[in-house]
């Protein structure tokens, strides 16, 4: 017995030594575990480089660090990401997006029918689960997890290309409110893409990890995630290295596209005042929307932006020849105007913040760190609203679009620690984190 113990002791010592020497003299190994953020509108993949201690969010051939969560079926191919999104206009009924809203979820027939009405593709009810009907040269159905698997496969390939090694293991994030079934189906999507999932972690926890908050002395972390269409606020409580979700609240009808819509309504009204009619060609409406969206993005950095688009307009005299020469519409939008147009929407952000504080039995002074996630949290007025409410600055050093993937990649790095020393050093936070993710 004593002999066995001392032998185990020597083996551990040898492993430590090998790890120590290895770390000193060998180049760091390539990461083999990837971190995946399978988002509703965009997806990203990242890895943790043990040598530099840095996260690398993997870019595609054109340097883009996220891919649209779209999958398109053509006669000959199944495309994912940008190539799929590019087909959304020409192949709308076979280009599936928003699949995450359906994955692993049971619907009653009416709810599913309502959902279906929002999309140009066909969502059908398979005994309470959503499926998508595809018609190329034949008609078939695919599941939301199949759509997810094509996106995950695309990201796996991007990672393999970048790292130059095969990748079979991953950590993946899911919304904190996903139930066990939604988590299981997300894992199934990854399995279909040939990936073994070592851990499923909550998106807000990942965002907190992106800021290294798992390593520092904080107790209460508030995560505000404001994306294109939804707001999610989570209150995390850290106890001995373990994050617990104490409260969640949100608004699934508030996000960046609502702010764009307000600006679009305003510019459309300006067009009407100036030219006596509003854009009616689908392409013109589309172009105006894109210009307004670009102006909105610019206004996060610049005090003003210009919307400039050629439009084909009806006027009283020329209704019969709508395609005559276009007029040039121009308008300068100031940041102040943008804020006035959206102030009531911005104020709505505080409601779920107050709810999670109340449910978590905390005063706002008790919140140690505030983490912002999602592109819309770049809007200066929104940042100010939050910092005024708490009387402190939110943490903004990580790109809000990449905070989740950054945190998932850090977790992947922890799971993939291939050096003996790192394995033993990291064992403890692992055990804690496992509890967190299913709380």
Q: Which residues are near ligand NAG by CB under 6 A? A: 75-76, 127-128, 137-138, 180-181, 184, 211-213, 216, 294-295, 298, 305-307, 369, 393, 395
DSSP output for 287-341 = HHHHHHHHHHHHTTTSSEEEEEEEE----TT-TT-TTSPPEEEEEEEEHHHHHHH
Tell me the pairing of strands 122-126 and 139-142.
Answer: unpaired
Does the annotation mark 100 as catalytic?
yes
First to last CA, the chain: 40
C-alpha 303/C-alpha 283 separation (Å) is 29
Q: Smallest distance, Å, CB 322 to ligand NAG?
A: 26
Judged by beta carbon, residue 84 or residue 295, the one nearer ligand NAG is: 295
Cβ atoms of residues 404 and 203 within 8 Å: yes
Choose between 26 and 75: whose C-beta lies nearer to ligand NAG.
Answer: 75
Concerning whether 61 is annotated as a catalytic residue, the answer is no
Nearer to ligand NAG, 92 or 212 (CB): 212
Q: Phi, psi (5° rounding) for residue 389?
A: -60, -45
CB of 75 to ligand NAG, least distance (A): 5
Task: Provide DSSP, 113-146.
Answer: HHHHHTSSSEEEEETTEEEEEEESSSEEEE-HHH
Among this protein's residues, is 435 annotated catalytic? Answer: no
405: buried, middle or exposed (CB in 10 Å: 19+, 13-18, 0-12)? buried
Q: How far is the CB of 203 from ligand NAG (least distance, A)?
A: 18
Minimum CB separation from ligand NAG for residue 120, in Å?
A: 22
- Tell which residue, 218, 125, 220, 223, has the closest CA to residue 173: 223
Min CB(139)–ligand NAG separation in Å: 10
Helix, strand counts (H, E) of the chain:
13, 18
**CB of 349 within 8 A of CB of 382?**
yes
Give 123's strand partners. Answer: 132
Q: Contact 417/50 with Cβ under 8 angstroms?
A: yes
Measure the CA–CA gap between 175 and 171, rounded to whole angstroms.
14
> Which of 60, 98, 145, 203 is labelled catalytic?
203
Kindly tell me which of 51 and 212 has the beta carbon lying closer to ligand NAG: 212
DSSP 275-292: HSS---SHHHHHHHHHHH
- Residue 403, CB half-sphere, CA atoms under 13 Å: how many? 31
Q: Among residues 54 and 306, whose Cβ is nearest to ligand NAG?
A: 306
Distance CA 298, CA 29 (A): 41
Distance CA(304)–CA(292), nearest Å, equals: 12
Nearest distance from C-beta of residue 348 to ligand NAG, angstroms:
24
Is 225 annotated as catalytic? yes
Look up residue 114 and give its two tokens.
């309502």
Point out the catalytic residue in the list 56, 98, 225, 232: 225
User: CA 144 to CA 152: how far, in whole Å?
Assistant: 12
CB of 299 to ligand NAG, least distance (A): 8
CB of 136 to ligand NAG, least distance (A): 6
Q: Per the residue annotation, which of 56, 60, 98, 100 is the catalytic one?
A: 100
Cβ proximity to ligand NAG, 154 vs 214, nearer residue: 214
181 versus 384: smaller Cβ distance to ligand NAG: 181
Q: Which residue is nearest to ligand NAG (CB)?
A: 305
Residues annotated as catalytic are 37, 100, 203, 225
């Amino acid at each position: 017995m004593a002999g066995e113990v001392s032998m185990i002791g020597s083996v551990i010592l040898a492993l430590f030594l090998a790890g120590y020497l290895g770390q000193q003299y060998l180049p760091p190994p390539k990461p083999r575990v990837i971190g995946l953020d399978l988002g509703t509108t965009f997806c990203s993949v990242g890895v943790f480089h043990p040598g530099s201690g840095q996260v690398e969010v993997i870019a595609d051939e054109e340097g883009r660090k996220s891919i649209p969560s779209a999958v398109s079926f053509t006669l000959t191919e199944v495309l994912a990401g940008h190539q799929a999104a590019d087909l959304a206009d020409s192949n709308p009924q076979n280009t599936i997006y928003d699949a995450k809203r359906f994955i692993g979820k049971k619907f009653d027939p009416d709810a599913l029918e309502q959902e279906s009405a929002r999309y140009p593709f066909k969502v059908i009810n398979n005994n309470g689960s959503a499926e998508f009907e595809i018609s190329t040269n034949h008609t078939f159905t695919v599941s939301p997890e199949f759509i997810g698997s094509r996106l995950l496969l695309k990201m796996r390939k991007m990672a393999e290309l970048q790292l130059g090694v095969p990748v079979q293991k991953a950590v993946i994030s899911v919304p904190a409110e996903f139930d066990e079934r939604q988590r299981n189906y997300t894992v199934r999507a990854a399995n279909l893409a040939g990936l073994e999932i070592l851990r499923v972690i909550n998106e807000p926890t990942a965002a907190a990890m992106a800021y290294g908050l798992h390593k520092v002395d904080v107790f209460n972390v508030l995560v505000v995630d404001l994306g294109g269409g939804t707001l999610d606020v989570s209150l995390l409580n850290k106890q001995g290295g373990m994050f617990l979700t104490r409260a969640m609240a949100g608004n699934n009808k508030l996000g960046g596209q609502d702010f764009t819509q307000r600006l679009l309504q305003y510019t459309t009204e300006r067009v009407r005042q100036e030219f006596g009619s509003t854009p009616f060609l689908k392409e013109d409406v589309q172009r105006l929307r894109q210009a307004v969206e670009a102006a909105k993005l610019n206004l996060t950095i610049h005090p003003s932006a210009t919307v400039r688009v050629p439009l084909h307009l009806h006027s009283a005299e020329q209704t019969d020849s709508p395609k005559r020469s276009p007029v040039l519409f121009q308008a300068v939008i100031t940041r102040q105007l943008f804020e006035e147009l959206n102030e009531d929407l911005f104020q709505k952000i505080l409601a779920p913040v107050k709810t999670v504080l109340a449910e978590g039995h905390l005063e706002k002074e008790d919140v140690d760190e505030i983490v912002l996630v999602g592109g819309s949290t770049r809007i200066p007025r929104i940042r100010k609203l939050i910092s005024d409410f708490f009387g402190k600055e939110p943490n903004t050093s990580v790109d809000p679009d990449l905070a989740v993937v950054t945190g998932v990649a850090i977790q992947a790095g922890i799971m993939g620690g291939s050096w003996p020393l790192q394995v033993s050093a990291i064992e403890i936070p692992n055990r804690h984190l496992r509890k967190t993710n299913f709380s």
